[in-house]
Amino acid sequence: MKKLIASYGEILLRISPQNHYDLIEQTNLFRTFFGGSEVNVSCSLSLLGHSTKIISVLPNNQLGIAAKKNMQQFGVNTSNIFFENGRMGTYYFQHGVSNRGAEVIYDRKNSCFSNKLITEDEWVDVLKHSSHLILSGITPALSEFCMTNILNSIKIAKKLKIKIVFDFNYRRTLWTKDQASKFINKIIQDVDIVFGNLGVMVDLYDFKTNSIKDYIQLEKATLSASKALSDLGNFEQIGMTIRNQINANENVLGGLIKTSDGVFLSKPIKTRIIDRIGGGDAFVAGALHGIINQWKGNKIINFAANAYSITQTFLGDINIMKENEIFKISSHENQGHLTR
């Protein structure tokens, strides 16, 4: 029987300039996507062959219906999406070009998701039969209701012996360092599988690094940060992304996974960035895919890092590549050549 992987998070409407190089203030042509960190992970895992479900809240209108249909297209179980009166969380994304960085503008305050309190009895109902629960540090930043929902979901998950997967996903524009640290410290001991990066350890835990000039130095700093992260809880696995940003379009990407067998580093991957959103979520999904399938650490990290990189080469929040496609690209079988 397949493991059922549950995620709790907000489904967002993303609005971006239609032309990659346009600024929001200079265009009247926009395109839309649906996404959100936990949602992106669920969709990717579904395409990788897993049974997934999203626990979320959508507005009881055409936007909510469209978002639900979008999740279903990826094979995600949407039976535990609540429909409420209210607005949908939205964000505007402006692509970066050259030395101009990408920018996110959130418009999600008082969304129907952030105003919904899910009872403990409801959590028992929606989490039964699940093997994993995916959470992130974005959701508790949204409201007191969301904080309570996270705490209650973990309480019920632990009773049901469900593994907790947590991605720090610290967003400075949503809450302060002190608010984030205080809340995350309440739940971190209950987390089984954790994901983050060097920036999270610097921002939230004052991890000190020397000046970093290249990928090799960044990799070494991430390795040191992973040891500090290990001290925060009793984790079964730790995953960390690595991003050496040369400019908005040229990055070198990679990652680290720590398992009971040791620490494994991916090969660095030179990547031309088409869309900056969703890479970390693809990494989480790729790593979980390998962990659940009981792959060796080396295989897990190189698969996850390639999923991370590939997702940045096409538009949208969600990694739409399947396992065989990721393996084919990561094997350098075609090296970007035309396949006929």
pLDDT recorded at residue 338: 46
Q: What are 157's two structure tokens?
A: 């998950």
Q: What type of residue is 265?
A: L
pLDDT recorded at residue 3: 84
226-248 mean pLDDT: 97
Q: How far apart are CA 336 and CA 162, in angstroms?
A: 40
pLDDT recorded at residue 329: 87
Q: Per-residue confidence at 332, pLDDT binned at 50, 70, 90?
A: low
**Mean residue pLDDT across the chain:** 95
In contact, 158 and 202? CB cutoff 8 Å: no
Residue 210 has pLDDT above 90, yes or no: no
Residue 50 has pLDDT above 50, yes or no: yes
DSSP state of 21: T
Q: How far apart are CA 215 and CA 266, in angstroms?
A: 12
Residue 253 pairs with which residues in a beta bridge? 243, 269
Helix (H, G, I), strand (E, B) or coil at 197: strand
DSSP 107-139: E-TTBTTTTPPPPHHHHHHHHTT-SEEEEESSG
Query: Positive or negative CA dihedral for 134, 38, 51, 57?
Result: positive
Residue 162 has pLDDT above 90, yes or no: yes
Residue 334 has pLDDT above 70, yes or no: no
Q: Which fold has domain 4-330?
A: UDP-N-acetylmuramoyl-L-alanine:D-glutamate ligase (3.40.1190)
Residue 281, number of CB atoms within 10 A of its CB: 30
Q: Per-residue confidence at 145, pLDDT binned at 50, 70, 90?
A: very high
Residue 236 pairs with which residues in a beta bridge? none
Q: How far apart are CA 100 and CA 168, in angstroms?
A: 26
Answer yes or no: pTM beyond 0.75: yes
Question: Quick one: what percent of the chain has pLDDT higher than 70?
Answer: 97
pLDDT in tens, 268-299: 999 999 999 999 999 999 999 999 999 999 99
Q: What type of residue is 262?
A: G
